[in-house]
Amino acid sequence: MFIINCPYCGEREQSEFKAGGEAHIERPKQPTELSDDQWAEYLFMRKNIKGIQFERWVHVHGCRKWFNMVRDTTNDQIHAVYKMGEKPPIK
């Protein structure tokens, strides 16, 4: 359990949020031209990183807005929170 600093509401308990998985997976621009391999990559394949991961969260029991987060998956420490469409503040 940890505290998440929602960019719209401030610090709230993690149970108010829902994780949305890996961030920065772009929706295919030309879906009709995708091969099966590319669809598999887009839909199913995940980095599933042990360490610093970029991911999406939604404040489902709050403002219901989506945002991005940088979190260390080895100890659940959050390094940054940033809004959708923004560039990650750390590399």
Q: Which residues bind another protein (CB under 8 A)?
A: 1, 14-15, 18-19, 21-22, 36-37, 39-41, 43-50, 53, 55, 57, 71, 73-76
**What is the C-alpha to C-alpha distance for residues 91 and 33, in angstroms, rounded to an integer?**
31
Q: Looking at beta carbons only, is 1 or 90 nearer to another protein?
A: 1
Q: Looking at beta carbons only, is 53 or 68 nearer to another protein?
A: 53
- C-alpha separations of 52 from 33, 72, 77 in Å: 33, 4, 9
Report whether 83 contacts 67 (CB < 8 A).
Answer: yes
Q: Looking at beta carbons only, is 60 or 63 nearer to another protein?
A: 60
Q: Which helix (H) or strand (E) holds 80?
A: strand 77-83
